[in-house]
């Protein structure tokens, strides 16, 4: 295990939580070795993982830039906070243990932050792959891809920030790091609180990372993420009363509440509570008003037993999209998508 104090401070620290991804961790660490920028350190953290993270990381520790930290399991936010406290660079980048950085990621992030001292966060685009119907970019053509973005842009999700973003240590310390009470949407919460502290996002319009979606309960994950988003908006409304940003947060929060209601009804139908779930959906028909949904409701009125498999298929089709689709679209009819 390399000592963090034996070497000069690097320009950027990469934080790699590795809970449950020991079989994929080598790919993430290989993507660091492939960087065209070499002045980095990586803090790999095993926070009580059930698999052999130590074995997966052992061969990489011959490189003094890799450091391995072990803690008890207190969730990903606590793990990241602990690893960042052990790191030394003025810039922090996040790389989940099952994701990848493209070779130009670190050089692009460091340059962007050096060239724009007012930027608190540097972000980029990424490829979504794995347990998805098709590979897509995190940031689509329907989103703002300007050079900079404000807090209001991030709140209404005109601008999305990929989890593999880079931010300034000093701002992270000022806001107290990740909120360990956030069990979902903890990254969105961090971006918002960093921008509430000041500055803007610098965006590099290039695919510089690869975000892996792994099989999981898509319905449960989506519902937790929506509830997490609502908590973030509640924080902004409480912290910035009367501001433009609070007004934006309040408007999008209402859209998220509507989306939560619809998605809970979807989940109820899939779970077998067909008639109550369909009744709730019919009460929300204004949010499901395109021809495909109209045809589906007509079919289900005659054959209600078809609703669970059809909605389960929709769920599988859109698995992994909840973290990367703009929340603002929910208020404008995103749930209309069949």
* In the chain, domain spans: 12-213, 218-336
Structural fold of domain 12-213: Spore Coat Polysaccharide Biosynthesis Protein SpsA; Chain A (3.90.550)
What pLDDT, on a 0 to 100 scale, did the predictor assign at position 132? Answer: 81
Averages of pLDDT over runs of 10 residues in the chain (338 residues) are 68 96 96 98 96 96 97 94 97 97 98 98 94 86 84 92 95 98 94 98 96 72 91 97 97 93 92 92 82 90 93 74 42 36
Write down the pLDDT at residue 142.
Answer: 76
- Cβ distance 108 to 132 under 8 Å? no
CA gap 154, 170 in Å, rounded: 21
Cα distance between residue 98 and residue 143, in whole Å: 26
Beta strand 119-130 with 136-137 is antiparallel
**69-101: per-residue pLDDT in tens?**
999 999 999 999 999 999 999 999 999 999 999
Token duo for residue 174: 């000022």
50 φ, ψ (degrees, to nearest 5): -80, -10
What the block records as the tokens of 159 is 């601008």
């Amino acid at each position: 295990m390399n000592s963090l104090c034996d070497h000069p401070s690097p320009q950027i620290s990469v934080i790699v939580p590795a809970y449950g991804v020991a079989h994929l961790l080598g790919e993430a660490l290989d993507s660091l070795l492939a960087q065209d920028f070499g002045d980095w350190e990586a803090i790999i953290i095993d926070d009580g993982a059930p698999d052999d993270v130590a074995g997966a990381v052992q061969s990489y520790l011959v490189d003094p830039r890799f450091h391995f930290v072990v803690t008890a399991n207190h969730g990903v936010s606590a793990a990241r906070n602990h690893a960042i406290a052990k790191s030394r660079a003025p810039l922090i980048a996040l790389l989940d243990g099952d994701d990848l950085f493209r070779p130009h990621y670190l050089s692009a992030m460091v340059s962007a932050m050096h060239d724009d001292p007012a930027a608190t966060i540097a972000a980029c685009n990424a490829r979504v792959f794995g347990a998805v119907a098709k590979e897509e970019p995190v940031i689509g053509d329907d989103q703002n891809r300007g050079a900079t973005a404000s807090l209001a842009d991030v709140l209404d999700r005109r601008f999305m920030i990929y989890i593999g973003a880079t931010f300034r240590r000093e701002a992270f310390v000022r806001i107290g790091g990740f909120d360990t009470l956030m069990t979902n949407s903890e990254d969105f919460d961090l971006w918002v609180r960093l921008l509430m502290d000041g500055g803007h996002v610098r965006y590099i319009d290039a695919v510089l990372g690869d975000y892996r979606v792994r099989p999981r309960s898509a319905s449960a994950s989506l519902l937790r993420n929506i509830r997490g988003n609502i908590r973030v908006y509640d924080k902004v409304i409480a912290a910035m009363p009367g501001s433009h940003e609070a007004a934006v947060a309040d408007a999008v929060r209402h859209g998220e509440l509507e989306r939560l209601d619809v998605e809970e009804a979807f989940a109820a139908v899939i779970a077998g509570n067909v008639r109550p779930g369909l009744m709730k959906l019919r009460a929300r028909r204004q949010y499901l008003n395109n021809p495909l949904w109209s045809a589906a409701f007509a079919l289900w009125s005659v054959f209600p037993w078809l609703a669970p498999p059809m909605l389960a298929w929709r769920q599988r089709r859109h698995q992994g999209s909840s973290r990367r689709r703009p929340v603002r679209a929910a208020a404008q009819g995103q749930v209309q998508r069949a």
